[in-house]
Amino acid sequence: MRVWIVFLLCLAGHAMAAPTEEVLVTEEELVTEEELVTEEPIFEEETEVGVNPVQVDVGEFDEAIEVIEDAEENPCMNYHCKRGKVCEVDEDNTPMCVCQDPSTCPPAEGDFEHNCGTDNKTYETACHFFATKCTLEGTKKGHKLHLDYIGPCKYIEPCLDNELKEFPMRMRDWLKNVLVTLYERDQDNDLLNEKQKLRVKKIYENEKRLQAGEHSLDLLAQDFQKNYNMYIFPVHWQFGQLDQHPADGYLTHSELSPLRAPLIPMEHCTTRFFDECDTDGDKYVALEEWAACFGLKEQDVDKDLII
Ligand SMILES: [Ca+2]
Ligand SMILES: [Ca+2]
């Protein structure tokens, strides 16, 4: 998750330009639909304050203390429900997850909390979105409903063919810069694991590397030809970051969401790009499809690079 925070810091500054820290995005906003994938309730060792909406709903401070004192007797306390659901106990005091009533979601503190669904409706917050999706569970409409992007729904201009071609050029350059930035900042944090660091070190130390900045498409294209090898790992790395639920070599809509959702309002080719990446149209973006989308040669697709 930490990597995503840095990631979105980068995103929020300038879409796919040099990483900056201009806008803070909270973890709560890093809406992934990952928890939608998890159908079974998950028991957690530690209680994450605020995760259980029952806790969030406690209004008065005094009552809050009371709830915490009763924690051991509250079967819902360590019972985690996926987004859109809350824990309730039945007559036998057994906890279970039920759909949250959207009207119990805390109101948005600003437009930045709004989310646009694939039904082109603006949801006040991610909580409202997931609660609504839950109520549609089992229906065709519910199955089709995904979180499309962060922010209120707006007109997104169509992506033209020539613009679509530019998108991966800028994105792979940006991915490389994100990795280099993570590497530079890695002194005190474990933003990258040791294997990843070794890979990025080579890119970082390569003097021929195109430095982060606003570059013309011609220069980006030239650099991709000249320094092709530097782009292989970043493209794989991004895939590995997204392919987590489960890590099976295929990206679902939900897995792509952390990348798509903040990007769509800023980059109007995002949706078309990811749709067309799925060349066989099976709704999943396989590693091979992903790599091809970014211009990698077939022989350079290597699942062992996802480290
Ligand atoms: Ca997957
Ligand atoms: Ca596919």
Task: Decide if 26 is inside a domain.
Answer: no
What residues have their beta carbon closer than 5 A to ion ligand 2?
278, 280, 282, 284
Task: Decide if 12 is inside a domain.
Answer: no
Task: Decide if 25 is inside a domain.
Answer: no
- Give 260 Cα–ligand 2 centroid separation in angstroms: 17
- Give 102 Cα–ligand 2 centroid separation in angstroms: 34
Express each pLDDT in 263-299 by its tens digit: 998 899 999 999 999 999 999 999 999 999 999 999 9
Same domain assignment for residues 187 and 278: yes
CATH of the domain at 107: 3.30.60.30
Express each pLDDT in 195-218 by its tens digit: 888 888 888 888 788 888 888 889
- Give 290 Cα–ligand 1 centroid separation in angstroms: 12
Q: Name which of 163-177, 203-217, 227-241 the model is least confident about.
A: 203-217
Residue where a domain terminates, one of 104, 121, 150: 150
- Give 58 Cα–ligand 1 centroid separation in angstroms: 36
Given this model, what pLDDT does residue 277 score?
Answer: 94
Residue where a domain terminates, one of 150, 180, 211: 150
Q: How many Cβ atoms from other residues are within 10 Å of residue 24's Cβ?
A: 10
Q: Which residue has the tokens 């079967």?
A: 75
Given this model, what pLDDT does residue 52 score?
Answer: 32
Given pLDDT bands bounded at 50, 70 and 90, which one contains residue 71? Answer: low
SS3 at position 75: coil
Cα separation, 42 vs 160, whole angstroms: 44
Same domain assignment for residues 133 and 271: no
Residue where a domain terminates, one of 150, 183, 214: 150
Task: Decide if 24 is inside a domain.
Answer: no
Q: Does residue 118 carry a pLDDT above 80?
A: yes
Q: Which residue has the tokens 């021929």?
A: 208
What residues have their beta carbon closer than 5 A to ion ligand 1?
243, 248, 250
143-149 average pLDDT score: 91
Q: Which carries the bigger pLDDT value, residue 41 or residue 146?
A: 146
118 phi and psi, to 5 degrees? -70, -5
Same domain assignment for residues 174 and 141: no
Same domain assignment for residues 146 and 282: no
- Give 188 Cα–ligand 1 centroid separation in angstroms: 30
CA 289 to mean position of chain CA atoms = 19
Express each pLDDT in 171-203 by its tens digit: 999 999 888 888 888 766 678 888 888 888 888
Task: Decide if 23 is inside a domain.
Answer: no
**Best mean pLDDT range from 3-17, 27-41, 136-150:** 136-150
Same domain assignment for residues 107 and 247: no
Number of structural domains the chain divides into: 2
- The domain in which residue 135 lies consists of 65-150
Longest Cα–Cα distance of the chain, Å, equals 68
The β-bridge partners of 117 are 147
Given pLDDT bands bounded at 50, 70 and 90, which one contains residue 55? Answer: very low
Task: Decide if 2 is inside a domain.
Answer: no
Same domain assignment for residues 143 and 161: no
Task: Decide if 100 is inside a domain.
Answer: yes
Cα separation, 259 vs 285, whole angstroms: 13
Q: Which residue has the tokens 């066989």?
A: 280
- Give 131 Cα–ligand 2 centroid separation in angstroms: 29
